[in-house]
């Protein structure tokens, strides 16, 4: 089974990324015959305009993946922009993709409603994403529920190509991980950079402290019983605890654990949780991260080149 996944280097990873994306993807790595993990820097250009930030985030995100358990000897970690076949295939697919399919993309409409500038790249994002996937003949694509429609679009686009030019592409299957952790942000919404409600995964101690101590709580009195099921502090805290420790802490909430004390407990346990990860990250140089990307991009290019030769022949460009 060949699996492809990716992430946009549009910011530093946060706790929601760790439980919702990084860990599930590393688990898929263990069960697949071959995995491709893509730093989707071309996609980031639809919203990120600072070139220095893009370079910094790309290497920083790669280091985070490595310290969390990604094995570059088993899987291919590569930079999207280093493989020219992505954009070539995206153009060819765009000549076949119906406008009506693109106009039904919910993600584009949601992003515009959130104030992101409308641009052609954002509108055609699903076509490039389809190219990203089928270029490697990926059979499985692990995604969150919010990306399900894009994978369905990729399937439609690949099917359209096959019906027109012959069976070149494998039709990918989405893997929707229903039990993926939905990590609440410090305001109670889903943790997201877009909502500015994140807890940095491996950020500076001061940044982490500010985020955790800023978690929104209700107006219950200091010693009043708290509901752990609706308390954002507990919902975040239990993610880094064993089931037994979480059960004990839950009872403390019900017995009136003050919110201030609860935040301090979370901060202490979180610092302990990330300490070994931060130590590992400090040992990885920019050069080491870049070398892994360069090596992975060469391996990705070999696969992409083979696919594109078949595509060019099929459409008459060779």
* Per annotation, catalytic residue among 30, 145, 160, 193: 193
Q: What is the pLDDT of residue 182?
A: 76
117-120 — which CB contacts under 8 Å span 24+ positions?
117/47, 119/46
Helix (H, G, I), strand (E, B) or coil at 313: helix
CATH second-level architecture of 202-281? Answer: Orthogonal Bundle (1.10)
Q: Copy the structure tokens of residue 83.
A: 């493989």
Q: Is 278 labeled as catalytic in the residue annotation?
A: no
Instruction: List b or e across 19-51, with b for residues whose CB sees 16 or more CB atoms inside 10 angstroms.
Output: bbbbebbbebbeebebbbbbbbbbbbbbbbeee
Q: What is the pLDDT of residue 114?
A: 77
Q: What is the pLDDT of residue 181?
A: 63
**Complete edge-to-edge strand list for the sheet that includes strand 2-7:** 76-79, 34-39, 2-7, 140-143, 173-176
Give how far Cα 59 sits from Cα of 37, 64, 167, Å. 14, 9, 37
Q: Is 111 labeled as catalytic in the residue annotation?
A: yes
Would you kindly state where each structural domain of the chain is located, as residue ranges? Answer: 2-182+286-315, 202-281
Q: Is 190 labeled as catalytic in the residue annotation?
A: yes
According to DSSP, the β-strands at 140-143 and 173-176 are: parallel
Per-residue pLDDT for the chain (318 aa), expressed as one digit of tens each?
899 999 999 999 999 999 988 988 888 888 888 899 999 999 999 989 999 999 999 999 999 999 999 999 989 999 999 999 999 999 999 999 999 999 998 888 888 887 888 899 999 999 999 999 999 999 999 887 777 888 999 999 999 999 999 999 999 998 876 655 678 999 999 898 878 999 999 999 999 999 999 999 999 998 899 999 999 999 999 999 999 999 999 999 999 999 999 999 999 999 999 999 999 999 999 999 999 999 999 999 999 999 999 999 999 999
Helix residue ranges per DSSP H, the chain:
15-17, 23-31, 41-44, 51-67, 85-94, 99-103, 106-113, 120-123, 125-134, 148-165, 205-213, 232-237, 243-254, 259-282, 286-315
CA geometry: angle 70, 72, 73, nearest 5 deg: 125
Let me know: does 240 contact 273? Beta carbons within 8 Å. yes
Q: What is the pLDDT of residue 32?
A: 85
How far apart, in whole angstroms, are the C-alpha atoms of residue 1 and residue 140? 7
* Per annotation, catalytic residue among 190, 209, 210, 278: 190
* Residue with the two structure tokens 């696969």: 303
* Per annotation, catalytic residue among 30, 63, 109, 111: 111
> Options 2.60.40.420, 3.40.50.620, 3.40.30.10, 3.40.50.1370; which CATH number does 2-182+286-315 get?
3.40.50.620
Q: What is the pLDDT of residue 150?
A: 87
How far apart, in whole angstroms, are the C-alpha atoms of residue 58 and residue 296? 14
Q: Copy the structure tokens of residue 78.
A: 């590569």
Q: What is the pLDDT of residue 21?
A: 85
**Which residues, 6 or more positions from 284, have their beta carbon under 8 angstroms from its beta carbon?**
63, 66, 67
How many CA atoms are closer than 13 Å to the CA of 178, on its beta-carbon side?
A: 0
């Amino acid at each position: 089974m060949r699996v492809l996944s990716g992430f946009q280097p549009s910011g530093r990873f946060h706790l929601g990324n760790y439980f919702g994306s990084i860990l599930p993807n590393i688990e898929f790595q263990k069960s697949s015959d071959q995995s491709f993990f893509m730093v989707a820097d071309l996609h980031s250009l639809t919203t990120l305009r600072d070139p220095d930030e893009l370079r910094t985030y790309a290497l920083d995100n790669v280091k985070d993946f490595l310290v969390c358990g990604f094995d570059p000897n088993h899987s291919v970690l590569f930079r999207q922009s280093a493989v020219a076949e992505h954009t070539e295939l995206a153009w060819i697919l765009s000549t076949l993709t119906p406008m009506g399919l693109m106009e039904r993309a919910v993600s584009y409409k949601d992003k515009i409603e959130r104030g992101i500038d409308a641009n052609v790249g954002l509108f055609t994002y699903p076509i490039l994403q389809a190219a990203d996937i089928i270029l490697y003949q990926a059979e499985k694509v692990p995604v969150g529920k919010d990306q399900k429609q894009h994978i369905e679009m990729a399937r439609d686009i690949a099917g359209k190509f096959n019906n027109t030019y012959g069976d070149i592409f494998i039709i990918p299957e989405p893997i929707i991980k229903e039990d993926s952790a939905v990590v609440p942000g410090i305001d109670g919404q889903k943790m997201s950079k877009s909502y500015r409600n994140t807890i940095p995964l491996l950020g500076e101690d001061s940044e982490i402290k500010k985020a955790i101590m800023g978690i929104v709580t209700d107006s219950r009195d200091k010693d009043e019983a708290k509901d752990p099921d609706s308390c954002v502090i507990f919902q975040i805290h239990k993610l880094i605890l064993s089931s037994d420790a979480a059960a004990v802490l839950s009872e403390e909430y019900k017995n009136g654990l003050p919110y201030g004390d609860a935040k301090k407990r979370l901060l202490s346990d979180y610092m302990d949780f990330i300490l070994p990860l931060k130590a590992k990250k400090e040992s990885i140089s920019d050069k080491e991260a870049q070398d892994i990307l360069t090596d992975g991009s060469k391996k990705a290019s070999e696969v992409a080149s083979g696919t594109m030769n078949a595509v060019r022949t099929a459409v008459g460009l060779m």
